[in-house]
Amino acid sequence: MPVQPKILAFAGSAREGSFNKKLIKAAAKAAQEAGAQVTLIDLKDYPMPLMNEDLEAKEGMPENAKKIKELMKNHDAFLISTPEYNSSIPPLLKNTIDWVSRKESKEETPLSAYKEKIAGIMSASPGALGGLRSLLLLRSILNHVGVLVIPQQHALGKAAEAFEADGTIKDPKQRQKIEEICKELVSVINRLKGPR
C-alpha cells in the first residue's frame, strides 16, 4: 500500500491569535483530507537566537534549529503561511530558514533539509492584498535553497473578518483556493516521489 505523503505545516508567526496560524490550521486539515499525513508545528515552540556565524562557530547550531531541521528532513513537503512585514516575510520565518540551511559537519550535503522538497505557500493579512508581496519573496528564498514551490498560492485578504469562531474560512471560494493548493501539493509529491 502506498505511503501517505508527509507534509510539515507551519506559520511564520509566533503571535497568539495570528491570522496565519488560523490559515495554516485550515490548510493542514485540507491537506489531510487530500490524503497527506500532516505535522502541524508552531514556531513559537522552537525559539532560537538570530542567525550569527560567530555564535554558530562558538556554540554550534541551536537545539531548536536542529529539531526543525530534522522535522524538515523527515517530511516530503512544507505548507507555509506567512504574514507580510513591510512588503517582506517576518524575521521569525527568515531566521528559521537560515538556521536550517546551515551544515552541521563538513560531510553533510549543503542545504540537506531542503533537498528534493516541495512547498505550498499562502499568506493572510488584514489588508486587501492579503500579504501577497510576502509570497513573492518567500517563493524566491525557497527556490534559492532548492525547494520546488508549486505555482498555486493564495493571499487571504481582510483576514480579521475571514474566519468563523471554529477557525473555518467563511468564504467558500477562499476555502476552495486553499483546498486546491493542498490537493495540488499532494498530487505533485505523488508524481515526483512515486509510491514509497
Domain over 6-193 is classified CATH 3.40.50.720: no
pLDDT mean over 94-103: 98
CA dist 43 and 78 (Å) reads 14
Helices (H), ranges, 34-153: 53-59, 63-73, 91-100, 132-144
Q: What is the pLDDT of residue 196?
A: 54
Confidence of residue 2 (pLDDT cuts 50, 70, 90): low
Number of other residues whose CB lies within 10 A of the CB of residue 161: 9
d(CA 97, CA 80): 12
Phi, psi (degrees; rounded to nearest 5) at 56: -60, -40
162: which 3 cell numbers? Answer: 475571514
Counting residues of the chain whose pLDDT is more than 90, the rounded percentage is 96
pLDDT of the residue at 195: 60
For residue 12, give the nearest of 103, 98, 115 by alpha carbon: 98
Instruction: Tell me 17's DSSP state.
Output: T
Domain ranges of the chain: 6-193
Torsion of CA 6, 151, 9, 156, to 10 degrees: -150
DSSP single-letter state for residue 88 = B
51-65 residue pLDDT tens: 999 999 999 999 999
Question: Would you state the pLDDT for residue 115?
Answer: 96
pLDDT confidence band for 184 (50 / 70 / 90)? very high
pLDDT for position 193: 84
Q: Which residue has 562557530 as its cell numbers? A: 57
CA distances from 18 to 12, 15, 84, 156 (A): 9, 5, 12, 13
In the predicted model, what is the mean pLDDT of residues 126-154? 97
Q: What average pLDDT does the chain have?
A: 96
Strands of 44-185 (E only): list them: 77-82, 118-124, 148-156
pTM assigned to the model = 0.96
